[in-house]
């Protein structure tokens, strides 16, 4: 598996592709990985907030992503949103 295949949700968020993200999250197996941490220890929600890709935030939240837990560096999604 390549790095691009490893983090499909992160890839959509990084590209700010909300349409592809919504389509991807229709897959039950992919949706189970919604809180997966990438190589930089960020969840897709952390990444969306960090990059200012607000179009991707709502699909993540609507699909049940964790909005409270901090990443490996101790930053919560709220911390990312306010920075």
- Tens digit of each residue's pLDDT (9 = 90 or more) over 34-67: 999 998 899 999 999 999 999 999 999 999 999 9
> Considering the entire predicted model, what is its pTM?
0.89
Domain that holds residue 25: 3-82
d(CA 75, CA 83): 10
d(CA 74, CA 16): 24
| Residue 64 pLDDT | 96
In CATH, what number is assigned to the domain containing residue 36? 1.25.40.20
Number of structural domains (the chain) is 1
| Residue 1 pLDDT | 47
| Residue 12 pLDDT | 97
Where b means 16+ CB within 10 Å and e means fewer, 3-23 reads eeeebbbbbbbbeebbebbbe
């Amino acid at each position: 598996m390549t790095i691009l295949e490893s983090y499909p949700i992160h890839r959509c968020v990084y590209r700010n592709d909300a349409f592809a993200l919504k389509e991807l999250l229709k897959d039950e197996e992919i949706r189970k990985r919604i809180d997966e941490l990438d190589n930089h220890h960020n969840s897709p929600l952390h990444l969306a907030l960090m990059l200012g890709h607000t179009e991707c935030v709502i699909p993540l939240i609507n699909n049940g992503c964790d909005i409270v837990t901090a990443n490996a560096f101790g930053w919560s999604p709220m911390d990312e949103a306010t920075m």
